[in-house]
Amino acid sequence: MIKKVRIFRWENGMKTLDDYVCIEERFEIYIVHDNFEEFLAELPASPSQLRELGAGFVVCEGYEKAEKIIDSWVEGQRIYVKVRDTNIGSLRNEVTIRHTPCGDSYKARKGEVIGGKAGDIKVSPEFILRISSSMTQLAETWRKTGGTHWAALFDREGNVLGFSEDIGRHNAVDKVVGYAVLNGLNLSELILASSGRMPHGMVRKIVNAGIPIVITKSPPTDKGVELARMHNITLIGFARGKRFNIYSGEHRLLNQART
């Protein structure tokens, strides 16, 4: 995921030193049913957890539900995701150039908001603060480069069940969801922590994965809040220090003393 490069640094004078930067590559994702395959997207991504990226992308973008995923494999720069009992011929949306809110471009067919059934687990404010304080401790590549986003899945006891880093926040979520899908974890009973903002496209991934609670140090957008409220997702932002904001789904918090 990282590469050592020789750089110049100005700090009260010029000096040379080695630094680490993230590796960026492009991968194509295909959905496979029987002997038929369909191109879904070409994405820039970090070259790690590629099986997970493919499986998570299919689920999070609304092409198929998690229970339909059979397997995922990689051949060169292509990622294949095999699914069962799918109407693959219904993928009639044209491939277009799309852009993330950060302006990054990628080729993809338009996905859907199909929605998973999020569980009604409840957590305490102390639990949320504990997760928020542990977020950056897991991000080894981020600590070396400052160039990745990350996402993690926790159970209701606060155990880390999956963790992913990538140059893109969307990919990091896809990867950790894909890890859960390929390992048979029940996403409706898990909590997602993410380093990124939560605009509509990110919240759509949470909705399609069926994850009930998402915690991030960053803010959502208005469209992200609207979608979270529409689908009963607990959306928590600005989780820093001893505070956090709840934008949606406050009913999942225990001990809701208000002032």
Active centre residues (catalytic): 102
Q: Which of 151, 148, 162, 154 is nearest to 128 (CA)?
A: 154
The CB density around residue 87, as the number of other CB atoms within 10 Å, is 8
Q: Where are the alpha helices (DSSP H) in 138-195?
A: 140-145, 169-182
Query: Is the sign of the CA dihedral 18, 22, 24, 29 positive or negative?
Result: positive
Q: What count of residues does the chain have?
A: 259
Question: How far apart (Å, rounded) are the C-alpha atoms in residues 169 and 43?
Answer: 12
Question: How far apart (Å, rounded) are the C-alpha atoms in residues 73 and 111?
Answer: 21
Distances (CA, A) of 205 to 20, 157, 173, 232: 30, 23, 8, 14
Q: Which of 131, 162, 171 is nearest to 48 (CA)?
A: 171
Question: How far apart (Å, rounded) are the C-alpha atoms in residues 125 and 223?
Answer: 25
